[in-house]
């Protein structure tokens, strides 16, 4: 079709918009199918592009074109679970004026997240059973360590030795991990686990500042 001046009419953009929308919908359906599979058996042992494609009602090639690999698909599933579980709230934590309140908030966010979705258990198994994706999860966990390091540094304000700060960070990193949460949760509610861990995390920080702690007791 041509305009009055003989030039070709530009193609309507709605065609590409429809295609993009369809591709996004397909991607969401594949991610949802992957998460359902992880919830079903809480394991990634049988998680594959073929199995997820069948569950999503698409071809393996479609899954491959969207994610590139099994690891890419697993990371996309984890990202979606993290978003639904509230981890996006961590972006605002460092802006809180009180670093101790921020630390409490970090503990609460992760307790809620670990309790949010049974698929998280399957994903965390990857650290031991799937070296490739396990390495990706280890890298994600290190982001939590970086966040904790920033908060502990703000709380101690150079009143603690470097080694003591590192000890506090490492301990809090373990306390806010998925294995610690699952070890404490069978006999406790999520709220009870959260309060217990908040107390333990503050104790870890205080232990790194013996002089400051003694001053608060007097």
131: pLDDT confidence band, cut at 50, 70 and 90? confident
Q: List Cβ neighbours of 38 (8 Å cut-off, separation of 6 or more).
A: 44, 47, 77, 118, 119, 122, 123
Least confident of 27-31, 59-63, 118-122, 161-165: 118-122
Q: Give the integer Cα–Cα distance in Å for 212 and 107.
A: 23
Read off the pLDDT of residues 21-63 as tens digits, 9 standing for 90 and up. Answer: 888 899 999 999 988 887 776 567 778 899 999 999 999 999 9
If we measure between CA atoms, which residue out of 203, 106, 201, 213 comes closest to residue 159?
213
Q: Is the pLDDT of residue 138 over 70?
A: yes
126: pLDDT confidence band, cut at 50, 70 and 90? low
Q: Is the pLDDT of residue 163 over 70?
A: yes
Q: How far is CA 196 from CA 91, 138, 176, in A?
A: 24, 25, 11
Q: Is the pLDDT of residue 176 over 90?
A: yes
Residue listed under structure tokens 């041509």: 2
| Whole-prediction pTM | 0.76
pLDDT, the chain, mean: 85
- Angle subtended by helix axes 14-41 and 49-56, to nearest 10: 110
Higher pLDDT: 95 or 118? It is 95
């Amino acid at each position: 079709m041509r305009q009055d001046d003989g030039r070709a009419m530009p193609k309507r953009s709605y065609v590409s918009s429809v295609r993009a929308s369809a591709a996004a919908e397909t991607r969401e359906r594949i991610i949802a199918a992957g998460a359902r599979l992880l919830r079903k058996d809480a394991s990634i042992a049988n998680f594959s592009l073929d199995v997820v494609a069948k569950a999503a009602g698409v071809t393996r090639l479609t899954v491959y074109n969207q994610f590139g690999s099994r690891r890419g698909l697993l990371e996309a599933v984890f990202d979606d679970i993290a978003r639904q579980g509230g981890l996006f709230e961590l972006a605002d934590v460092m802006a809180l004026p009180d670093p101790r309140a921020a630390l409490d908030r970090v503990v609460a966010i992760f307790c809620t997240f670990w309790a949010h979705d049974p698929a998280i258990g399957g994903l965390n198994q990857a650290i031991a059973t799937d070296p490739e994706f396990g390495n990706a999860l280890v890298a994600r966990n290190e982001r939590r360590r970086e966040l904790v390091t920033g908060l502990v540094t703000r709380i101690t304000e150079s009143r603690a030795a470097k080694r003591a700060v590192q000890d506090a960070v490492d301990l809090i990193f373990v306390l806010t991990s998925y294995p610690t949460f699952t070890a404490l949760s069978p006999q406790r509610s999520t709220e009870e686990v959260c309060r217990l861990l908040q107390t333990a995390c503050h104790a870890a920080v205080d232990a790194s500042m013996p002089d400051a702690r003694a001053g608060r007791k007097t």
